[in-house]
């Protein structure tokens, strides 16, 4: 009963947040609505006892992906007026996509023939059941091939991100610690001989002038 109340409460928040994502005029507000939507989805997942995935949803999507979204939304000064101007033009395409998604979702429910009542909760699990351990026991043995594919996918993501965004600005003088540590006396200090022939002038018998470091 209590679980059911929680389910409907979280579902209502999730729907409201999802609506907020598309209805909000401010892109930052949209991104934050999406954060709320992820949170409530995680709560819904917890209700069906998929503990690990629920928390990882928060950890990865809220803690990492949405930070990227916020960075992008905050840094690019998107002209909202211009984006809104395209609404009518793209409305047809949008409708097609929306009806496709709707058809798919109806298909999913139809296939199950509404037999599974999600609000009833998962079947009871033994007391010492650990969702994370259960996942770990199959992911790295039984499903090792998709697991390694995930690594390749992540590698592609790293390479793609770097090739797309990395720009070297010319004229920079970055600090190179190894170079600084490896510097020798001869590189920096110049022996300055006396200024007069007798060798008694200022600068004679000195290893270096005070500004010797800059001469090197």
13 sits near another protein (criterion: CB under 8 A): no
| Binding span for another protein by CB under 8 A among 51-59, 94-102, 184-192, 198-206 | 51-59
Structure tokens at 96: 């097609």
Residue selected from 88, 151, 181, 182 as contacting another protein according to rule CB under 8 A: 151
The CB-of-23 to another protein minimum distance in angstroms stands at 15
User: Does 183 contact another protein by CB under 8 A?
Assistant: no
Q: Does 150 bind another protein (CB under 8 A)?
A: yes
Distance CA 61, CA 45 (A): 14
Angle at 49 between CA 4 and CA 18, to 5 degrees: 65
Q: Draw the binding track, 102-121, toward another protein (x: CB under 8 A; -: no contact).
A: -------------------x
Alpha helices per DSSP H over 76-199? 80-85, 87-112, 131-139, 144-165, 177-181, 185-188
Asked if 9 interacts with another protein (CB under 8 A), we say no
Of the candidates 55, 38, 66, 47, which has an alpha carbon nearest to the alpha carbon of residue 8? Answer: 47
> For the CA atoms of the chain, what is the radius of gyration?
31
140: left (phi over 0), alpha (psi -120 to 50) or beta: alpha
| Site for another protein, rule CB under 8 A | 3, 26, 28, 32, 35, 46-47, 49, 51-52, 55-56, 58-60, 62-65, 67-68, 70-72, 74-77, 121, 125, 129-133, 135-137, 139-141, 144, 147-148, 150-152, 154-155, 157-159, 161-162, 165-169, 172-175, 177
């Amino acid at each position: 009963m209590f679980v059911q109340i929680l389910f409907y409460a979280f579902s209502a928040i999730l729907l409201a947040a999802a609506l907020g994502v598309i209805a909000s005029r401010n892109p930052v507000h949209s991104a934050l609505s999406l954060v709320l939507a992820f949170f409530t989805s995680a709560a819904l997942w917890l209700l069906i006892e998929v503990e690990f995935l629920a928390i990882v949803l928060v950890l990865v999507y809220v803690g990492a992906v949405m930070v990227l979204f916020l960075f992008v939304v905050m840094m690019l000064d998107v002209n909202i007026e211009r984006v809104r101007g395209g609404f009518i033009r793209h409305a047809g395409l949008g409708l097609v996509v929306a009806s496709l998604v709707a058809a798919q979702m109806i298909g999913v429910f139809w296939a199950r023939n509404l037999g599974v009542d999600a609000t009833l909760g998962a079947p009871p699990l033994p007391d010492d059941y650990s969702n994370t351990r259960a996942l770990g026991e199959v992911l790295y043995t039984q499903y090792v091939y998709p697991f390694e594919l995930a690594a390749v996918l992540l590698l592609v993501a790293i390479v793609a991100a770097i090739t797309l965004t990395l720009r070297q600005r010319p004229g920079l003088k970055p600090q190179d610690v190894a170079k600084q540590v490896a510097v020798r006396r001869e590189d920096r200090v110049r022996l300055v001989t006396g200024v007069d022939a007798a060798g008694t002038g200022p600068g004679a018998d000195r290893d270096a002038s005070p500004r010797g470091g800059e001469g090197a």
